[in-house]
Structure 1
Amino acid sequence: MTGSVLEVRVGTRLWFDGECWAVCEVRGTSVRLQGDGGRYRTAAVTDLLEGASGLDPDSHAVDAVQRDLLSAIGLESLTLKQRTRLEAEVEIFAELLAVRGADEAPARMRSAATKLGLSLRTVQRRLRRFDELGPAGLIDERLLKDTRRSVDPRWDDACTEVLSRYTNRSTPSQQTVIRETNRVFLESVPDGVVPTRSVAYERVVELDAGRHTFGDAPRRRSVAKRPQGVLGQLRPNRPGEYVLMDGYKLDVFAMEPVTMRWVNTELTLAMDLYDRSVKGLRLRPVAAKSADVASVLLQCLTPQQWGRRPDSPSGPYAGVPEHVVLGSVGVFPDTIVIDHGKVYLSEHTMGVCRRLGISVQPAIPDKPTDKPALERFFKSLRLSLLDKLSGYKGPNIASRGKDVEQGAFYYVTELEDLIREWVGDVYHLRAHRGLRDPLLPKVDLSPQEMFNRGIEFSGLLRLPAAEDLRYELMEVQWRKIHHYGVDIDGRRYDGPGLNTYRARRSDYGGAHAGKWPILVDVDDVRAVYFQDPADKRWHRLEWRLATGINAPFSKDAADYTRRISIAEHRHVDPQQAVEDLLVRWGREEVMGRRERNLAIRLATQPSSHAFDDDEVTDRASLPGVIDLLTARQTRQAAPPQHPDDLDVFERYYAEHPDSEVLEVFDE
């Protein structure tokens, strides 16, 4: 029996399953054991491999240090010179083992001691270790011990504690950290010895590895949020199983067309975790709303074309997602992982997912590692596209140039079209290091190739069965149908589709018994939608006061104009209210932040009037760059709308030339 082999034969004593046993019979795949009191049991050989240990005295002959160290680790820790010397010693001790017990063994032992420059007793001890451990038994024991440091371990503990204090604080200098560490160390160990200046700097750098205490503060805080221990991850098996959703403050200033002012934008995006393909995106000035999340969900359910050109590529479409993780380009998701923002956890978003059979899985708050694929996509978008655009402001203040907003030459809608074209022409066709087939681990795949591979292997498509999915994403309002139509939040809607059901009670029961469901697009309240229960056809009901509003009018804008009108004691005129709002925005007379954001949103929404083919072509061919200097010169050349107060005197003397001159005193 050697230290690394347990020989099981008849008579061998074993410790197995908490008891002492003696081997009485050895079979092909099992061993018959005899215990105290004449008890017998049969154990499989595989069970002995996992839990049996020898009780014979020679089974414990291995040195404790060597037993704790694998032979491979010990051999790999040697330098080339040490390895060459060890191989020469192995040849000598192998010859000694071959003649062990022979008459010539003592003479060969003395000859080996002379050749190696060792004493005879040392050679005998090393021969015994070589017999038990093989070549690893000849390794110098000093190489197996831990390296002793000149720095007190308690100083290292104090330094680690000080470094952790700066996670959410401003970036310090190394000198500051060393001085604070010395103070903390000497307070706990008054007789301790602090390291020298050069050694302290080396230890601080070594202990700060991975913390970024002396780097960027945002990166330091992000690294600190990483979960400790083994990192778990979602493992999708097919396209559409998990869809990630999150919002991202775009690092580019955009232009709103009415006032020619720069605005910040937020990109709401959905991504398939299996193939990293983009399912849908929506760019919104200022901040995203729940309607934008619903719009992105709708894009997940329908095939998408990435670009406004007729030959623009369309994304891979696989159907309905199963899971949506909140924060096939058309696969219907099984689960959505979302963010904890209000727009993601709103009743609008949650209700849509419930009606479509999509499970919602909120990510852990303040944990970017829950959606790493999206975070990596946003970085790729910034490095591949955004930093090449006019108006790029960088990821943080330290990266921002001077007056970068002066270069914001893209409308919000144009910027969204540009991102969509980049997704279809570049991102979906570019190889990703994180996308690999297990059968071809060294070949990087693109999202399009990974999607094709997933569909072929899974053979599953969850396609939407209804053609009216867009209505599932709208808000439901229960109202009575009067002879004049329906009233929703003070707005009156009517249309031919209500003729059969005017002043009639509905057959719906429950909490809204007798009322009719009216679907409202909160992003455009100029019209609502009613489904005829007889033929299941949808009818558009127009807002009576929407005549003249040539752009989408959101529910927030309608509620705001109504409140302003009531405050000013005048009737509601939606078109005039919107125009007044935009004029005040242009004159920098906006009353508050909410009104300012509404003006930006309304200004960036395209007109909904019908256009003929020529007009559509003209709109599509508008240049993506706006001549901001020309616009400013035009505005500066225009006559002032408010004359200066000093002009009153000039007009007075012009109208009364014979009047006495007024004398002005300066106090």
Structure 2
Amino acid sequence: MPGQVLEIRIGEKLWLDGQSWLIAAVGPTSVRLTSAGGTHRTAAIEELMQSATALGGPIDGDADVKALGSVVLSGLTKGQRDRVDREVDVLSPLLTAGGGTRRNIEAAAEELGISVATARRRLARLQEQGPAGLVDPRLLSDTRRSIDPRWDEACLGVMASYVTASNPSRQTIIRKANAAFLEAVPDGVVPSRTSAYRRLTELDKGRYTFGEAKQRRSVSKRPQGVLGQLRPTRPGEYILMDGYKLDVFAMEPVTMRWVNTELTVAMDLYDRSIKGIRLRPVAAKSADVASVLFQCLTPQVWGRGPEATKGPFSGVPEHVVLGSEGVFPDTIVIDHGKVYMSQHTFGVCRRLGISIQPAIPNKPTDKPALERFFRTLRLSLLDQLEGYKGPNVYERGKDVEKGAFYYVSELEQIIREWVGEVYHRSAHRGLRDPHLPKVDLSPEEMFNRGIEVSGLLRLPAADDLRYELLEVAWRQIQHYGIDIDGRRYDAEALNLYRGRRSDYGGAHAGKWPFHVDVDDIRTVYFQDPENKAWHPLQWRLAPGITAPFSKDAADYTRRASVRANRHVDPQQAVQDLLVRWQRDEVLGRRDKVLAQRLATQEDVETRLPARTDDESPDVIDFMTRRAERDADRRDHPSDLDVFERYYEKHPEGGLEVFDE
């Protein structure tokens, strides 16, 4: 097969890097080349295999280059391939020395049922191209190109304009594509209606022009070209962090409000195991991110009771992880949300030596493993819970919030148990050993493999690590203790520092730092500057609270306590409500509903004069009003028996109905 073999020997000419070269010398691993202009160069054998072409053979960009034989043969059906193999068996003996005689060619043509001339042409193609030369080119030609490619370009341009717009109809896209095509090609022919619809379906594949708008916008933000990928080599090298608005309504236990919740998750990219979660009503805060970071550094219990699952640390060989506190993350990939980019989060990571790598905004492909986890959580657990509302308003049921519900703390506990008992023990198609690519591993098994291969990076958690992750409040130490948001804390540890200024400078010069856990404000923590010991300071009202009392609950209680007209006299409340109706100042939801109902009723004061009690001039005398109403009814007898009295006087009569 001439042109398909590059012979490396002295005196041969070849084409390399845009010019002709003559082989002057041949070595074991390289050759010496000389150009017509007298230039000399040395080229490796590997370089010639990749870039060089024999002169007289096909070169890159040649229009006559045929498809690879393997591609042509693999595109045939079984029947077509059998016919080609039969022709090869018959014609191959004719290529041997002395086999291509006229008598042999005629015998082969008769056996194949073709003419002698056709047999000679197929024999030549077999010699030049191999078995692929015997394939009819029409079998692999594209038979669907009846539509002008320029119409496809116009259609793609129209669909691209609807990425951020509302969903269009297919006929709208076709109509605009036809107009754009005819404007660019006045003499062009637009496809028929059926062909246009069929072609539009092909072009829209993967674009979701007629699907969910959110998914369409997400797909449009995918990077073009080759997708990069973080390739961790051991557990703890990359930790992904992100938040997710749960598709389940929950009840806030203190305020008794229906709330949405946001789940903050930290995932190890190496084994897809969950290192920490935090569920917060409405929206996450920087303290929640710090709490999840702390969970990443300490073993987590994903359940209740002494037999609860202990995350990916269970089942690890004892000699590897004996006494270890956890895998310390090197790099954390975070979202661009305010809570992730806060000074609190940066300060904690800087203190612990963790590198922060923010993801690109509005690009879900930067954290695909977490996005897939959120989908698994919704399909595997959330859609089976009470209060599930669906991922969007189109899939939401009616009056979901009126059914059963879970408190926020209960919902978080359910998710933690699901992570430990289901997720960590389920096989993932994305977790595979390169040596056994067909075996799917679970996060626990992948963690075990990573520890066996690379060993565990041990970093015991420091005693003050928990306090490092709490929020700091700067206060003066008074004789009664300290005051934080209206709550007073005190302990004997403050005795030496009451009324004294601290040695701290900066924005809070002279004040003392106190660490506050926003999820349990019953206790704050103070570090003695002399011996560096930590002391808890108890809130004075804490003995009356048995469960953790969060800062959000305290803020709600404080707002409720200072709200105007919180405790009122019932009679005075009625009068105030009537005044607000007249002034159009009904702002509460219940007041608005009641006002709308009364607005559809007839005003009583326009029919009857109002009388008031002399002792209480501002209160209506309902007893007097009732007596007047009864007297008014007696003055107007009922007319319900009018038809009976009419028939008694006119027994032969009847009623005539006029239909105009």
**Per-residue CA distance 1:622-652 (angstroms, 9 max, x = gap):** xxxxxxxxxxxxxxxxxxxxxxxx9986996
What is residue 571 of structure 2 aligned with on the other side? none
What is residue 245 of structure 2 aligned with on the other side? 249
What is residue 153 of structure 1 aligned with on the other side? 149
415-424 or 121-130: which moved more? 121-130
Residue 25 of structure 2 is aligned to residue 4 of structure 1: no
What is residue 191 of structure 1 aligned with on the other side? 187
**Per-residue CA distance 1:57-85 (angstroms, 9 max, x = gap):** 4x459995663411101112223333233
TM-aligned CA distance change 1:662 to 1:547, over 3 Å = farther
Match of 2:356 among 356, 360, 381: 360
What is residue 78 of structure 1 aligned with on the other side? 76
Distance 2:536 2:620 in 1: 60
Secondary structure at the aligned position of 1:67 is classed as coil
Following superposition, the deviation at residue 426 of structure 1 comes to 1.2
Following superposition, the deviation at residue 452 of structure 1 comes to 0.9
What is residue 280 of structure 2 aligned with on the other side? 284
**Per-residue CA distance 1:544-586 (angstroms, 9 max, x = gap):** 676756665555676787789899799xxxxxxxxxxxxxxxx
215-224 or 538-547: which moved more? 538-547
Does the 8 A contact of 1:254 with 1:264 survive in 2? yes
Q: Which ranges of structure 2 fall in alignment gaps of 5 or more residues?
A: 315-323, 567-584, 590-609, 633-660
TM-aligned CA distance change 1:133 to 1:490, over 3 Å = same
Distance 1:657 1:231 in 2: 79
- The letter for the 2-side match of 1:455 is I
Does the 8 A contact of 1:300 with 1:329 survive in 2? no
545-554 or 26-35: which moved more? 545-554
Does the 8 A contact of 2:298 with 2:461 survive in 1? no
What is residue 53 of structure 1 aligned with on the other side? 53
What is residue 439 of structure 1 aligned with on the other side? 435
- The letter for the 2-side match of 1:246 is D
What is residue 93 of structure 1 aligned with on the other side? 91
Q: Equivalences for 1:207-286 in 2 at 5 Å?
A: 207-257=203-253, 260-286=256-282
Q: Equivalences for 1:511-550 in 2 at 5 Å?
A: 516-543=512-539
**Per-residue CA distance 1:177-227 (angstroms, 9 max, x = gap):** 223322333333333222222212111111111122222333223222222
Following superposition, the deviation at residue 260 of structure 1 comes to 4.9
What is residue 203 of structure 1 aligned with on the other side? 199
TM-aligned CA distance change 1:566 to 1:416, over 3 Å = closer
Distance 1:154 1:8 in 2: 46
Following superposition, the deviation at residue 453 of structure 1 comes to 1.0
Distance 1:494 1:277 in 2: 42
524-533 or 352-361: which moved more? 524-533
Q: Equivalences for 1:270-349 in 2 at 5 Å?
A: 270-317=266-313, 330-349=326-345
What is residue 605 of structure 2 aligned with on the other side? none
Q: Equivalences for 1:625-644 in 2 at 5 Å?
A: none
Does the 8 A contact of 1:476 with 1:518 survive in 2? yes
**TM-score when normalising by structure 2:** 0.77
TM-aligned CA distance change 1:261 to 1:45, over 3 Å = closer
Following superposition, the deviation at residue 350 of structure 1 comes to 1.5
**Per-residue CA distance 1:241-292 (angstroms, 9 max, x = gap):** 1111111111112223456553222212211111111111122222222222
Match of 2:490 among 486, 489, 494: 494
What is residue 67 of structure 2 aligned with on the other side? 69
Secondary structure at the aligned position of 2:177 is classed as helix
**Per-residue CA distance 1:581-600 (angstroms, 9 max, x = gap):** xxxxxxxx99999xxxxxxx
Secondary structure at the aligned position of 1:393 is classed as coil
TM-aligned CA distance change 1:438 to 1:261, over 3 Å = same
**TM-score when normalising by structure 1:** 0.76
- The letter for the 2-side match of 1:5 is V
- The letter for the 2-side match of 1:459 is G
Aligned residues: 583
Following superposition, the deviation at residue 115 of structure 1 comes to 5.8
Q: Equivalences for 1:414-433 in 2 at 5 Å?
A: 414-433=410-429
Distance 1:160 1:66 in 2: 31
Does the 8 A contact of 1:244 with 1:270 survive in 2? yes
Distance 1:468 1:88 in 2: 81
Residue 445 of structure 2 is aligned to residue 449 of structure 1: yes
What is residue 23 of structure 2 aligned with on the other side? 23
Does the 8 A contact of 1:211 with 1:223 survive in 2? yes
Does the 8 A contact of 1:155 with 1:181 survive in 2? yes
Q: Which ranges of structure 1 fall in alignment gaps of 5 or more residues?
A: 319-327, 571-588, 594-645
- The letter for the 2-side match of 1:54 is A
Residue 403 of structure 2 is aligned to residue 413 of structure 1: no
Distance 1:295 1:176 in 2: 51
Distance 1:62 1:248 in 2: 51
Residue 13 of structure 2 is aligned to residue 13 of structure 1: yes
Secondary structure at the aligned position of 2:437 is classed as strand
Following superposition, the deviation at residue 138 of structure 1 comes to 2.7
Does the 8 A contact of 2:248 with 2:382 survive in 1? yes
What is residue 580 of structure 2 aligned with on the other side? none
**Per-residue CA distance 1:413-450 (angstroms, 9 max, x = gap):** 11111111111111111111211111221111111111
Does the 8 A contact of 2:73 with 2:81 survive in 1? yes
Does the 8 A contact of 1:270 with 1:279 survive in 2? yes
Following superposition, the deviation at residue 538 of structure 1 comes to 0.2
**Per-residue CA distance 1:127-167 (angstroms, 9 max, x = gap):** 44432322223333444655452212222222222222332
TM-aligned CA distance change 1:61 to 1:10, over 3 Å = same
Following superposition, the deviation at residue 228 of structure 1 comes to 1.9
Distance 2:96 2:167 in 1: 67
Does the 8 A contact of 1:32 with 1:43 survive in 2? yes
Does the 8 A contact of 2:326 with 2:460 survive in 1? no
* Pairwise CA RMSD: 4.1
Does the 8 A contact of 1:304 with 1:330 survive in 2? no
Residue 380 of structure 2 is aligned to residue 384 of structure 1: yes
486-495 or 172-181: which moved more? 486-495
TM-aligned CA distance change 1:651 to 1:242, over 3 Å = farther
Q: Equivalences for 1:638-653 in 2 at 5 Å?
A: none
What is residue 647 of structure 2 aligned with on the other side? none
- The letter for the 1-side match of 2:4 is S
Distance 1:658 1:174 in 2: 70
Does the 8 A contact of 1:33 with 1:40 survive in 2? yes
What is residue 605 of structure 1 aligned with on the other side? none
**Per-residue CA distance 1:97-140 (angstroms, 9 max, x = gap):** 2146x8x7345445556666767666555444432322223333
What is residue 636 of structure 1 aligned with on the other side? none
Distance 2:620 2:208 in 1: 75
Does the 8 A contact of 2:613 with 2:620 survive in 1? no
Distance 1:213 1:40 in 2: 58
Distance 2:394 2:162 in 1: 19
Secondary structure at the aligned position of 1:245 is classed as strand
Does the 8 A contact of 1:62 with 1:132 survive in 2? no
Secondary structure at the aligned position of 2:311 is classed as coil
Does the 8 A contact of 2:613 with 2:621 survive in 1? no
Distance 1:53 1:233 in 2: 36
**Per-residue CA distance 1:324-360 (angstroms, 9 max, x = gap):** xxxx995322121111111111111121111111111
TM-aligned CA distance change 1:40 to 1:356, over 3 Å = closer
